[in-house]
Structure 1
């Protein structure tokens, strides 16, 4: 199951930050007391919502999943809240919390020993990734990965030999998280790896 039980959202470009805001968590609360409860929902950013689309005030906006809307609704009003379109909200950045897990990776389809692409599924804490490095088995040098899009990173070099250690640096705080030999020697696309 995905973190936060599909409570995800797309955000405006100012929050998405060309993909570097992907994975960040926000608490969002609806201000319309006629249809919304007082509960805030924590969402994880998974995509960008185009500027100037519906629900835009010119700076920031959120396009939320049905599960996120449902969490904020007064009991029995889920459908009505989802059909509403624009609703007034307040929001704030919050740490991402994934009990029992620190991070999860997904090796992307098309990866080879000369081109490795990794999706950071989620990162406990800051959530956003500002840089990503890998270190090959027996190596001493951290190899910088390139930002591809969203929470996807790649390195084109080879042949690359696992197991790989991974080091992430959070965009918002600069906090570094590293894990030794987290990607096994016999890695393959679509393997999920958890710390």
Structure 2
């Protein structure tokens, strides 16, 4: 083997190791993580959990249902984690349901810090669950339990949804109902008269493009944190309108 070929192989090995470390950082190795706690907010019908920091608005129409959670700052990752799924279970002790059952929750909100040492203050990993989600793992009157958690894949019904907001020269697209990794690292948009354009994250899962796409059929390309990509061609017709939601492919 030549020195040049050996050097190339060494570089490839370094990149592969770095990619594996990134996947493990984002998704874990499948094992349970300790040290987290859980509380709940909202009512028994999950009232008060809509319109959170991920921008989903009504979580039911977004496809996320009642079994959702707000995350403390260390887990929320400035909104990058929005849409991700976690399997959670009580870590044992007072308040845990018999048998310590687990449930899968979707990250839809931020549990903000600033409560002078409260549960959501850094560096604590904390899940502020909807009340229906909390009731699946613990007794409601207890109000607080220790927690184990791990990242899991999201199982969604129907396609990825793209809600186009904004106005001419400012397209703000909410991306929701994402399966697979659930969270999104990149979104691209293509008009029928343009090439692919990289969108920028505005906040939560709202992605922006500053071009004039009026009168063009729109296609979208979504990349999850696991590196998988879904391309949805011509999901919005040429006469698309702001405020409308269009459905594409799914992971």
Q: Is the 8 A contact 1:12 1:60 kept in 2?
A: yes
> RMSD value over aligned CA atoms?
2.0
Given the alignment, which residue of 78, 91, 95 partners 2:153? 95
Shift of 1:10: 1.1
Q: Is the 8 A contact 1:4 1:42 kept in 2?
A: no
Matched, 1:104 2:161: yes
- 1:163-190 per-residue CA deviation (whole Å, 9 max, x = no partner) reads 11000111x2111111001122222233
SS of equivalent residue, structure 1 residue 68: helix
Given the alignment, which residue of 124, 134, 157 partners 2:189? 134
Shift of 1:160: 4.0
Shift of 1:55: 2.0
- Structure 2 unmatched runs, 5+: 1-59
Q: Is the 8 A contact 2:95 2:145 kept in 1?
A: no
- Structure 1 unmatched runs, 5+: none
2:220 equivalent in structure 1:
166
The 1-side partners of 2:245 and 2:211 are apart by: 22
The 1-side partners of 2:149 and 2:241 are apart by: 39
SS of equivalent residue, structure 2 residue 75: helix
* Runs of 4 or more consecutive aligned structure 1 residues displaced over 6 Å after TM superposition: none
TM-score, normalised with respect to structure 1: 0.84
Shift of 1:127: 0.6
Q: Give the paired residue count.
A: 183
Would the alpha carbon gap of residues 185 and 63 (structure 1) be closer, same or farther in structure 2, given more than 3 Å must change?
same
1:156 equivalent in structure 2:
210
Shift of 1:4: 4.3
- 1:103-138 per-residue CA deviation (whole Å, 9 max, x = no partner) reads 122223xx2232111111220111111011100014
Matched, 1:48 2:81: no
Bigger-Rg structure (1/2): 2
Would the alpha carbon gap of residues 4 and 117 (structure 1) be closer, same or farther in structure 2, given more than 3 Å must change?
closer
Would the alpha carbon gap of residues 122 and 7 (structure 1) be closer, same or farther in structure 2, given more than 3 Å must change?
same
Shift of 1:32: 3.6
TM-score, normalised with respect to structure 2: 0.66
- 1:5-41 per-residue CA deviation (whole Å, 9 max, x = no partner) reads 2211111222222111111111111224543332212
Shift of 1:48: 1.7
